[in-house]
Amino acid sequence: MSAMSPAKHRPAARVAAALGLLVMAFAALLGPAAPASAHAVLVSSSPPNGAVLASAPSQVVLTFSEGVRAVPDRVRVIGPDGSRVDRGKPAVSGAVLTITVDQGAPRGTYLVTYRIISADSHPVVGGYTYSVGAASTPPTDTGGGSRVDPVVSTAVKIAKYVGYAGLALLVGPVLVLALLWPRRLSRRGPTRLAYTGAGLVALSTLAGLWLQLPYTGGGGLFAVSGAALTDVLGSTFGAALLVRLGLLGAAVILLRPVLAGTAGRTDGLLLLVLGGCGLATWSLAGHPAATPVPVVSVVADMAHLAAMAVWLGGLVMLAGFLLPRASARELVAILPIWSRWAAVAVTALVVAGTVQALIEVGTPAALVDTGYGQLLLAKIALFALVIGVAAVSRQHVRRHALAGAQAEPDPDAGGELESGTGRELESGTGRELGPGAGGGRGESDPDAAPAADLTGDAAEPEALVGAVGAGRPRGLRRLVVLEMAVLAVVLALSAVLVQQPPARNAAGTTGTAGTAAPAFWSATLTSSLYSLQVEVDPAQTGNNSLHLYAYTPDNRPQRVVEWKATAARPDQGVEPITIPLLPIGDNHATGEISLPTAGPWQLRFTLRTTDIDQATVTATVPVK
């Protein structure tokens, strides 16, 4: 068998390069993971944290900042002797979780631990102590489930990003084949790409359903039970993913005529409706459905997803198929239309992102005072760079389209193509860019020859060839690659934002009408041995709860042998005060401290990870 000719190899290599860039874009989202941050926050508890009661309570009541679900057998009250004193299943009513407690338990200190699922489908782990009669040595919870398995956590992220990649690979080919594809070019490659995208979305959805079981329960990849499965399928998350599978199956049936170019208007409209409903499942399964204004958040998130899919999917089609295969005359018609699509997508991203930011940030101060706001500012800066690159691409297209319109018409092309109007694209179908523009050769093998040879013309008009680059606009391809590369970084920051507590919670802004969300301070401190996520709630004078989460330098949960913490006010001569810490997991500890005055309190943490290895980190907390 003869070796593949360079002419055949070049288009395939370009397609592979475009797909490889897309894979790298989503691989960038899997960069060093930030410590997991839950979106539901414990607002109050009864009995209060650290309280000493005269008699045992009949119930423990926990109130969170948003609606929650209890993970089966992961909400517990441990007595002073280490035995469980909770009775029956905990009752959940919206954001309030009630645990029935045995009043005949002995005197001493009790440990309350919980693992619940917030409204945005993420697990939340926490705990605190109270005492009856007198304090004693706090018990420990040996039941496990105090953290997310790192393998499961990574698999969840991979599944999500595979779904986003599939969405872009599905939307891009469908739009381009339906509205911009020259009839003379084979549809085989883009069609396969579209079906690959549909398969990736299905795979991601099935994996998401499976992984949600150990993700919420705290076990390994195969820690699956019938009760957990029933609980997940009965949740909003499970229902949204099941609906997505059904909609995807219906959409695949309609894809064949649309991708083949034989679909009627009804088929296109039905596919559009199914696509819109499918986008809603991503929003309903995440935190947009848990904001103070869920309808607005869901619509904005859908617009954000749709614009991302159109933009990124269109760039893949442009770089992988149209730029290397379409003739110069076809590109003069196609590129201005794509430029307008990109402009609409950018506008949608800006508007939807602004709406989401106003909801999630709440106040201008939160942009600089919270991790969420700082990441958002970085994303805005990079997005501005993407818009700049897109603007240069748009000017590139306009300049070459004008040059092409002024060129002498090709005698075999069936007439002159007007500048940037795409008048040879009949009703937006691209069919007039068929035999007329291509010399009447009809369907062709996509790997048969370079784009210039596929036209069937002896030579393109000299001015047009000079303007568009002989069917190979390398300058535009470089701009497209740069646009995709910067967009990959923007998507990576978006993924990190999803893991951060919304700034409206972190900054203590209003959560619901007439109800103030709790103030909250959070930071991540780093040392050579570990990174430490510190959460102080409510960061105000009086009693404050402290949660510490330790991670290895590569962001895996770090087992801590010994925890130490102090608080001081050096500016007022207040010497370090020891903060009693209670370990409730390998990498999680909690404590309580009363801060009598407002101002900058210096917290100092010393963590020992082995018998000989330890490191100290400090943070300054602005107490109001």
395 versus 431: the higher-pLDDT residue is 395
Q: Which of 194, 64, 201, 59 lies closest to 123, judged by CA?
A: 64
Which range of residues forms the domain containing residue 565?
A: 519-623
Taking 60 as the threshold, does the pLDDT of residue 417 lie above it?
Answer: no
Same domain for 393 and 287 = yes
**Percent of the residues in the chain that have a pLDDT greater than 70, as a whole number:** 67
- pLDDT value of position 363: 63
Whether the per-residue pLDDT at 248 is higher than 60: the answer is yes
E strand residue ranges, 513-613: 515-516, 521-526, 531-537, 542-551, 562-569, 574-578, 581-585, 588-595, 599-608
Beta bridge partner(s), residue 578: 566
Residue 509 placed within a domain: no
Specify whether 166 is located in the same domain as 309.
yes
The CA angle 246-248-249, to the nearest 5 degrees, is: 65
Range from 250-254, 368-372, 417-421 that averages highest in pLDDT: 250-254
**How far, in Å, CA of 534 to CA of 524, rounded?**
6
Q: pLDDT digit string (tens) for 114-164?
A: 888 887 777 888 788 888 888 888 887 776 555 667 788 788 888 888 888
Mean pLDDT in residue range 591-610: 87
Mean pLDDT within 79-97: 89
Give domain status of residue 575, yes or no. Answer: yes
User: Residues 276, 246: one domain?
Assistant: yes
Q: Which residue has the higher pLDDT, 196 or 523?
A: 196
- 59 and 11 fall within a common domain: no
Same domain, 419 and 480: yes
pLDDT digits (tens, 9 = 90+) for 18-51: 444 444 444 433 443 433 444 677 888 888 877 8
Residue 51: predicted pLDDT: 81
190 versus 544: the higher-pLDDT residue is 190
Least Cα distance to 355 among 282, 302, 391, 277 occurs for 302
Query: What pLDDT sits at residue 494?
Result: 56
Highest-pLDDT range among 257-271, 371-385, 426-440, 442-456: 257-271
Report which of residues 35 and 237 the model is more confident about. 237
The answer to the question of residue 140 being in a domain is no
Q: Which of 100, 132, 164 is the last residue of a domain?
A: 132
What average pLDDT does the structure give for the chain? Answer: 73
Q: Both 494 and 560 in a single domain?
A: no
Residue 550 and residue 479 share a domain: no
- C-alpha radius of gyration, the chain, whole number: 29
Q: Are 387 and 417 in the same domain?
A: yes
Is the pLDDT score of 91 beyond 50?
yes
Quickly state the pLDDT bin for 197 (edges 50, 70, 90). very high
CATH number at residue 117: 2.60.40.1220
pLDDT digits (tens, 9 = 90+) for 551-583: 888 777 888 999 999 998 887 777 888 888 888
573 and 607 housed in the same domain: yes
Q: Do 234 and 365 share a domain, yes or no? A: yes
Q: What is the pLDDT of residue 145?
A: 54
Q: Is the pLDDT confidence value at 449 over 60?
A: no
Angle separating helix axes 150-179 and 474-499, nearest 10 degrees = 140
> Band of the pLDDT at 17, cuts 50, 70, 90?
very low
